[in-house]
Amino acid sequence: MPTQPSFLSRARQTLPKELKQFLQPFLDKAYETQTPIYLIGGCVRDLLLNKTSIDVDVVLEGTAAPLARAAARLYKAKLVSHPQFLTHTLLLRDGRHLDIATARTETYAEPAALPVVEPASLQEDLYRRDFSINAIALSLNESDFGHIWDPFGGLEDLASKKVRVLHAQSFKDDPTRIFRAARFAGRFGHELEWRTREWLTEAVALQLPGRLSGARLREELIPLLMEPDPRPSFRLLSQWGALSFLIPNLRWEKSHDAFFGQLIRQPEKECTLMLRLLVLLHAIPFSKAIGNLEHLMFPQKMIEQIEQALTFVARMKDGSLSFADMQKTTKRPLPQEVRAFIAKAVKVKALSPKKEMLVDWERFQDSAPCLSGRDVRDLGYKPGPVFTKIFDALRQARWEGKLRTREEEIRFLQHTFPITNGHFEIQILQHVQVFQIFMRNLRDRDIGDIQIVFFDQVQQQIQGTLKDLQ
C-alpha cells in the first residue's frame, strides 16, 4: 500500500530559513498593525511539495496598500499596484516578486469578463481561486505561525494528484483556467477530477476561451511555453480541443515533440521565449503565424524578427532560398535564436529542406572572408560603399569554392577591384602593403624575441616607404 504524503498529517508547516528571513522585515510591519497575514496559493503548494517557488504571495485580512508601500521602502523594490483588483507587486532587484493582496471575493458580470472585487475574509479569498491545490493558506501570524488553512481539500488533491476546480461556474467565470489546468496537470503529472473534466469540456464546447482578449491569452501562452518541459501541457490542450484558442490553425505535431525534446536538453538561459515561439509556430503558414502574434499583442520587434525567421525558413524548406537571401543575413543578422532554431529543425528533420539548400546554407556559414576591413584599407582601398561590394564579392567567391586562403583573397581582390589610376607607385604600394599584412599576421604568432625585433625594423622601413609613395 503506497505511503501517504507526509503533509496530509501536518497541521503546521515550517518555513524554510531563507524564506522566513526574507519575509521577516515585512512581517514585523504587519505585526505592528495587527493585520492578519497569510502565505497563500502556488507558493504554499510548492512548499508542501518541496519545490522552489520564485514568487511569493501573501494575503492580508485588511487593507494591503499601506503595508505594500512600506514593504517597497524596506526592500528597496519597485511597487506596481492594481487598485481595482486590490493587489500590489514588489519587483525585487534579484528578480523575485512579492505579491501582496487584500483578501477579496470576485463576481463576474458575464463569462470571461474581468472580475469585480471586494474585500473579504480569508475563506472567501480561498474560494475564489482556480483550483483546490492553490486554495491553501499558511498562517504567518505570531499566534499560529505555520498553521495550514485548507477548507476545500487541497491537501488531499495534492496527495491523489488531482486538479479540481472549486465550483461548477469556475471555467465559465474565467476560461483562462482551462490553460492553467493544462499547465498544472502537465507540470505535476496530475489528472483532472471527473467533474472538473466535464465542466472544462462544456466550457470548450461553448467556445468561452474565444471571448478572451489577445492580451489575456498571451499571458497564459507565455507561462505554458516557459515550462521546463511544455510538451505534456500542450498535449492536454490538444486533446481537450483548446489549443486553437491560443493559436488558430495550430495542431500539435510529432515535430513539436521532437523539437521541444531538443530544447529541454539545453541550458535554461538559451531556451528563450522567442526560440520557443518559433518551435511552436513552425508548422503554421508564416503569414498566419504573424497574424496570430499580432492578435496576442507580442512586442513589434519580436514579431518582426519572427517574421524574418519564418520567411527565411519557408524559403529554405521549399528550395527557393537564394545566395542573395543568405547574403542579407550579413547585413541584417538573424538573431541567435533563429540560428539555433534552424540547426535544431534540421536535426529533428522538422523542416525537411532540400538537401542542396541545406548544403548551401551550411557552406554559407563558413564563407566569411579572411581579410578584415583594415586589411582592405591597407591594400590601398578607401573606406566607402566599395567596401560592401568587396566583401559581398569575397563571400560569394568563398561560398562558390573559388577562394580558400588569405593570399587567394588578396589576388582576387586586386584582379576584381583594381586600383586604376595608372601610376606605377600604386602597384608598388599594393605589393608593399600585401607584405605588411603578411608580417602583421606573422607577428601575432608565437615567435622569438630576435625575430620580433627584426620584423619591427622591417615594419618601420615599410612605413617610411609608404609615406614616400603617398
pLDDT tens digit string along 420-438? Answer: 654 434 444 455 555 555 5
Quote the pLDDT of residue 5. 59
- Cβ proximity of 242 and 182 under 8 Å: yes
Quote the pLDDT of residue 1. 37
Of 61, 64, 53, 58, the C-alpha closest to 138 is: 58
Whether 80 has a pLDDT exceeding 90, the answer reads yes
Quote the pLDDT of residue 431. 53
Give the rounded distance of the alpha carbon of 407 from its chain centre. 44
Q: Comparing 283 with 46, which gets the higher pLDDT?
A: 46
Quote the pLDDT of residue 425. 43
Residue 153, burial from CB neighbour count under 10 angstroms (0-12, 13-18, 19+): middle
Quote the pLDDT of residue 457. 56
- Cβ proximity of 176 and 21 under 8 Å: no
- Cβ proximity of 149 and 138 under 8 Å: yes
- Cβ proximity of 90 and 78 under 8 Å: yes
- Sign for the CA dihedral angle at 344, 349, 353, 356 comes to positive
Distance CA 49, CA 43 (A): 10
Quote the pLDDT of residue 420. 62
Reported as a single tens digit per residue, the pLDDT across 103-120 is 999 999 998 999 999 999
Whether 309 has a pLDDT exceeding 60, the answer reads yes
pLDDT, the chain, mean: 83
Least confident of 261-265, 300-304, 424-428, 443-447: 424-428
Tell me the percentage of the chain whose pLDDT exceeds 70.
81
Quote the pLDDT of residue 458. 56
- Model confidence, pTM: 0.77
Domain ranges of the chain: 1-160, 162-241, 247-366, 373-387+410-469
Distance CA 424, CA 461 (A): 20
Most confident of 27-36, 125-134, 246-255, 353-362: 125-134
Least confident of 101-105, 324-328, 388-392: 324-328
Most confident of 219-223, 251-255, 310-314: 219-223
Quote the pLDDT of residue 67. 94
Quote the pLDDT of residue 469. 46
Residue 9's alpha-carbon distances to 5, 13, 123, 155, 393, in angstroms, are 8, 11, 21, 10, 75
Residue 404 binned pLDDT confidence (cut-offs 50, 70, 90): confident
Query: Cell numbers 503546521 label which residue?
Result: 12
Residue 379 binned pLDDT confidence (cut-offs 50, 70, 90): confident
What is the enclosing helix (H) or strand (E) of 89?
Answer: strand 87-91
**Quick one: average pLDDT of 446-458?**
53
Whether 394 has a pLDDT exceeding 90, the answer reads no
Topology of the domain comprising 1-160: Beta Polymerase; domain 2 (3.30.460)
> 12: which DSSP letter?
B
**Quick one: average pLDDT of 323-351?**
71
Taking the domain 162-241, which CATH number applies? 1.10.110.30
CA count, 13 A, side-chain hemisphere, 351: 25
Residue 104, burial from CB neighbour count under 10 angstroms (0-12, 13-18, 19+): buried
Reported as a single tens digit per residue, the pLDDT across 170-185 is 999 999 999 999 999 9
| Polymer length of the chain | 470
Quote the pLDDT of residue 331. 63
Phi, psi for 257 (deg, rounded to 5): -60, -45
Whether 73 has a pLDDT exceeding 90, the answer reads yes
Quote the pLDDT of residue 189. 96
Residue 386 binned pLDDT confidence (cut-offs 50, 70, 90): confident
Beta-strand runs (E) in 172-272: 191-192
**Quick one: average pLDDT of 391-418?**
84
Quote the pLDDT of residue 262. 84
Residue 449 binned pLDDT confidence (cut-offs 50, 70, 90): low
- Cβ proximity of 149 and 139 under 8 Å: yes
Distance CA 166, CA 173 (A): 12
CA count, 13 A, side-chain hemisphere, 424: 0
Quote the pLDDT of residue 217. 96
Quote the pLDDT of residue 424. 38
